[in-house]
Chain A
Amino acid sequence: MAAVKTTSEVTLNRLAVVAVLIITIIFLAPIYWITATAFKPRNLATTIPPTVVFEPEISPFVKLFLRRSQLREQPTAEEYAEAPWWERLVFDGGEKIVRDGKGNVQLSGYPSRFMNSLIVAISSTVLAVGMGTLTAYGFSRFKVAGEQDWLFFILSTRMLPPVVVAIPMFLMYRWFGLNDTHLGLIILYTAFNLSFSVWLMKGFIDEIPKEYEEAALVDGYTRMEAFFKIVLPEAATGIAATAVFCFLIAWNEYAFALIMTRRDAQTAPPFIPSQVGSGLPDWTVIAAGTFLFLIPVAIFTFLLRNHLLRGMSFGAIRK
């Protein structure tokens, strides 16, 4: 039967499309702004009104990745002519690239910060989701003495705003020598995410009928094998959703990263705003750093999008 729509339904439908478009524009505007700024020449980044049409250039990225300093004097015509194209871009911005004694260029702090972010976010996500899934499985399938109290205790670790404990954490970390180490941040983010991961995964695992595992048990598998062969594949959606949330929290975390790390283990969030350039803040470099910082999250979320959509509604609707 063909769907026949009345006039009012058509109007409502069009209104909904318009509303969705407006909301989409509002949500995408900051992303457009960052992306556009990342490709602007420095002098167009802060114009009022904003420059919309411009010739995109790559110089903010060159500046983001390389160490540079303020030019004292203009480069000579020879220096300028000999310089590769990317160095000229830096000259044009009134800066020069810092070279070591052998004339090699040096990387800025950004690549290592970016790597730190990846290391810390991925490790803590794997740990939090892995431990959370096992814990949730235990609570879901076995009789645990004081189960409700334990679960409440696990949840209660999230009841305090994390920053409240920042100073005691800092002192503890100094005592243990965990300040400015990858391990320190990984432990911290895992602890943050664990309670969340346990609760979310418990919801997902509770939804998987016990009988699947019992079938596997009588089919000749041990409980451990049943867990890996039956429960994990069945919980894939939940694991994916939980992983995305944990990854986002660890990837975006700012306050503790600012307090607990300085150089070696510093992640990108506290580093990017410190890139004020030499002299006035160079918003194009900050935008370039932010733009690159968005990409892993976009890829991760895109890859898991089907699981995520199901995961949201799956976890939300409980009996």
Chain B
Amino acid sequence: MTHIELRGVQKWFGSVQVIKDMNLEIAGNEFIVMLGQSGCGKTTTLRAVAGLETIDEGDILIDGKPVQHLKASDRDIAMVFQSFSLYPHMTVYENVAFPLRATGMSRADIDTSVREVARVLRITDLLDRKPSALSGGDMQRVAIGRALVRKPKAMLMDEPIGALDAKLREQMRAEIKRLHMKQGSTTIYVTHDQVEAMSLADRIVIMHEGVLQQVGTPDEVYARPQSLFVAQFVGSPVMNVSEATLKDEGGAVRVHYDPGDAGFEFPRELLGKLNGHGAGGLSLGIRPEGVLVSREPQAGYVPVEAHIIEPLGSHDIVDLKVGEGMLRARTPAGFVPRPGEVVHARIDPAQAHFFDTGSGKSLGIRL
């Protein structure tokens, strides 16, 4: 039950600030995923927690004690690297036993611990092999085993499955989840893959250019993104975003997704909720599943032309031509038979997000 806290952490590489005033609390046994593009500072943050990177300002606390001045070896934290970093001159057994040897544990106890971890990770058969004789998935299991064997205060994982192929990645994702549920140690996991983040995390931490953007459960960051960046970073396909203009038409409000379109109908209460917000310009965001498509004309639906259809088996992603812009919609497979077809679409007000274009902040309006 290790509690980790970052307080006002700042880090520069020369004149470039890679971590900007980072504040984060991680509860015991929590699985935190740091998500962001490469170069956003997520790996540097992780390495700072591990003690492989110094910080210029702020505190890193483990169980309430500041550790930023402690050496990596004194922090009792384990880390899994993207390249696995298995020691090539040692067998799998020796690799897993290596962290225990540092503690001066007896041979018999080491053997018990190594075999126990090997059993949990199903690598018992591989113990006598050298890392070079292992497959990618097995290497990763061994790397996790080496991290787990010491029962560290916390586990840090730096894109641990990024080097594996897609199918194996999916399998290992499930395995990491299973393992965390079983072992339950505080974990910080770094990735640029939002699917990994969504599927693994208790809470997701989204970073951009050294700044923490949003912290929340996968559900929260997906359904209530606090900024345009988060809105467009999380979710696949990407959320449709465009600058919107409003027209008050008595009974309803028309929101123009594109200046050239006919405008989508929204309930009047939107005006009251907006109430002067969005001074820097208003942006409308809508996820593809929030774009409702109908083959027949319906009240409130606007006729649009299907431009590109991406069949994905379980569903299709259809690009609808709205004025000069594109609106991507998610439809049942084969719903729109061919490109060029005219269908009818509307934006589900309940799933619409409104942002201030200037600041990029969400206006927090829910209809």
Q: Is B81 an interface residue (CB 8 A)?
A: yes
A221 B73 Cβ-Cβ under 8 A: yes
A233 touches B83 (CB 8 A): no
Majority SS at the chain B contact face? loop
Residues of chain B within 8 A (CB-CB) of A221 are: 73, 102
Report the separation of the CA atoms of residues A225 and B76 in the bound assembly, to the nearest whole angstrom.
16
Contacts A217-B71, A217-B73, A219-B98; is A212 near B85 (CB within 8 Å)? yes
Known: A220-B103, A221-B102. A214 touches B73 (CB 8 A): no
- Residues in B whose Cβ lies below 8 Å from that of A212: 85, 87
Docked complex Cα distance between A178 and B273 (Å): 93
Q: Chain A, interface size: which category?
A: 10 to 19
For the complex, is B238 an interface residue (Cβ under 8 Å from A)?
no
Is the Cβ of B78 less than 8 Å from the Cβ of A218?
Answer: yes
Q: Mark A216-238, 1 if CB is under 8 A from B, else 0.
A: 11111110010000100110100
Q: Is the CB of B71 within 8 A of A218?
A: no
Cα–Cα, bound, A220→B153 (Å): 13
Interface 1/0s, chain B 100-111, versus A by CB < 8 A?
001100000000
Residue of B nearest to A212 (CB): B85
- Asked if A215 lies at the interface with its beta carbon under 8 angstroms from chain B, I say yes
Residues of B with C-beta under 8 A to A219? 73, 78, 98-99, 102, 146, 150
Distance (whole angstroms) from the CB of A136 to the closest CB of chain B: 19
Q: Which residues of A contact B99 (CB under 8 A)?
A: 219-220
Residues of B within 8 A of A233 (CB): 87, 89
CA distance A216 to B52 in the complex (A): 11
Q: Does B88 contact A (CB under 8 A)?
A: yes
Residues of the B chain whose Cβ atoms lie less than 8 Å from the Cβ of A168 = none
A209: interface (CB < 8 Å)? yes
Are the CB atoms of A217 and B72 closer together than 8 Å? yes
Q: Chain B, interface size: which category?
A: 20 to 34
Asked whether any CB of chain A lies closer than 8 Å to the CB of B51, the reply is yes
Tell me, in angstroms, the Cα distance from A214 to B52 when the chains sit together. 7
Contact B88 A234 (CB under 8 A): yes
**B40 within 8 Å of A by Cβ?**
no
Tell me the A179-234 residues at the B interface (CB within 8 Å): 209, 211-212, 214-222, 225, 230, 233-234
Q: Give the interface SS of chain A, mostly helix, strand, loop or mixed.
A: helix
Give the tally of cross-chain contacts (CB within 8 A): 60
Selected from A211, A216, A220, A234, the residue in CB contact (under 8 A) with B83 is A211
- Whether B85 lies near A214 (C-beta < 8 A) is yes
Interface contact B87-A220, CB-CB below 8 Å: no
Give the docked Cα–Cα distance between A211 and B78 (Å): 13
Looking at the complex, which one of B77, B79, B85, B89 makes contact with A209 (CB distance below 8 Å)?
B85
Taking CB atoms, residues of chain A closer than 8 Å to B81 are 211, 214-215
Contact status B73-A222, CB under 8 Å: yes
CB neighbours (8 Å) of B89 from chain A are 233-234, 236
Question: If the complex has contacts A233-B89, A234-B88, A234-B89, are A218 and B72 also in contact, measured as CB distance less than 8 A?
Answer: yes
Across-interface contacts of A215 in B (CB, < 8 A): 79, 81, 85, 87, 146
Are the C-beta atoms of A220 and B79 separated by less than 8 Å? Answer: no
Let me know if B6 is at the binding interface, CB within 8 A.
Answer: no
Q: Roughly how many angstroms separate A220 CA and B71 CA in the complex, as a whole number? A: 9
- With beta carbons under 8 angstroms apart, the residue of B52, B73, B85, B88 that contacts A220 is B73
Docked CA distance A221–B78 (Å):
12
Q: Is residue B50 within 8 Å, beta carbon to beta carbon, of the partner chain?
A: yes
Chain A residues in 8 Å Cβ range of B76:
220
How distant is the Cα of A236 from the Cα of B87 in the complex, in angstroms? 14
Q: In the complex, which residue of chain A has the Cβ closest to the Cβ of B82?
A: A211
- Complex: how many Å from CA A249 to CA B89? 30
Residue of B nearest to A222 (CB): B73
**Contact at B51–A217, with CB atoms within 8 Å?**
yes
Rounded to whole angstroms, the CA-CA distance of A230 and B89 in the bound complex is 8
A228 to chain B, nearest CB (A): 13
Contact code string B41-85 (vs A, CB < 8 Å = 1, else 0): 000000000111000000000000000000111011111010101
A-B contact list, 19 entries, CB within 8 Å: A209-B85, A211-B83, A214-B79, A215-B87, A217-B52, A218-B52, A218-B77, A218-B79, A219-B73, A219-B99, A220-B73, A220-B99, A220-B102, A221-B73, A221-B102, A230-B87, A233-B87, A234-B87, A236-B89
Taking A220-B103, A225-B102, A236-B89 as given, write out 4 further A-B residue pairs in contact, using a Cβ cutoff of 8 Å, ordered by the A residue number: A211-B85, A219-B146, A220-B76, A222-B73
